[in-house]
Amino acid sequence: MLGVTDLGGYLAGLAVIILMPGPNSMYVLSVAARRGIRAGYVAASGVFLGDAVLIVLTALGVASVLAANPMLFTIVQWGGAAYLAFLAITSLRAAWKQLRQRRVLRAPEDTSPIDLVRLEAAGIDAGELDVSREALATKPAKVERPFRRAFIVSILNPKAILFMFAFFVQFVDPTYEAPALTFALLGGLLELGSALYLTTLILVGSRLADAVRRRPLIAAGGNAAIGTVFLGFAAKLVTSPLH
């Protein structure tokens, strides 16, 4: 079928690959949990575009270039790890800010001397609690661009290009006269499977969105967990060998 040698085997392997947790799926889930279904699909669109770019690069033979040039591979590898670390630090900082805001919002109007000492130790000026509450309620949050972030996470992973090439080539008939159509079919099935999986994650994440918005402690815990996971992905990427 269009140069695919074993469609059933490809679909079985594809299902396993898609269901494996990775930075793309974790980021989409976190966006949906924090900002709802629409933002989740915006992030997923970044993943789709990133995957499409990787598929095209694979078909053009970029995987062979990376495999033959360790320096280029290392540059892309460290760039991807650095961006994952940036996302991790951003999530951890958000968790810390949410915990501090929770302390301010829950602080009583009449603060005892003992409480003043505790607030001072926490770095909170009790004399400005009312101002802090008002500021927290009106301060606009920094604009997050989930599409751009998801796209960058997708493309800054040289191992993904090498993996796609190694996986796709097993199912491409070398005698087929139009290999571009074969790669297009394999890539299209990958995008379809990814869309179904990410849609499931978005729906699950959106069910958590209300709880996250109502309970700052849950939001802080979620951001801390996501930050820790992204640090793990960054470490895994940077320590992953070329072969």
Mean pLDDT in order along the chain per 10 residues (243 residues): 81 83 84 88 94 83 66 74 76 74 53 47 48 46 78 78 73 77 86 92 81 66 74 73 56
Candidates 98, 240, 217; CA nearest to 157 is 240
* Separation in Å, CA 157 to CA 73, 152, 164: 9, 9, 11
Spatial separation of the C-alpha atoms in residues 177 and 209, rounded to whole Å: 50
Structural domain that includes position 56: 7-105+147-239
> Roughly how many angstroms between the first and final C-alpha of the chain, as a whole number?
31
Q: Which amino acid is at 54?
A: L
Number of domains in the chain: 1
Q: Which amino acid is at 12?
A: A
Q: Residue 140: inside a domain, yes or no?
A: no
Return phi, psi of residue 4, to 5°. -90, 125
Spatial separation of the C-alpha atoms in residues 181 and 192, rounded to whole Å: 16
Q: Residue 152: inside a domain, yes or no?
A: yes
Q: Residue 192: inside a domain, yes or no?
A: yes
Residue 110: per-residue pLDDT: 46
Spatial separation of the C-alpha atoms in residues 189 and 207, rounded to whole Å: 28
Q: Residue 142: inside a domain, yes or no?
A: no
Q: Residue 151: inside a domain, yes or no?
A: yes
**Tokens 């949050």 appear where?**
141
Q: Residue 121: inside a domain, yes or no?
A: no
Residue 210: per-residue pLDDT: 67
Residue 116: per-residue pLDDT: 43
Tokens at 87, concatenated: 């996302």
Q: Residue 164: inside a domain, yes or no?
A: yes
Residue 119: per-residue pLDDT: 45
Q: Residue 113: inside a domain, yes or no?
A: no
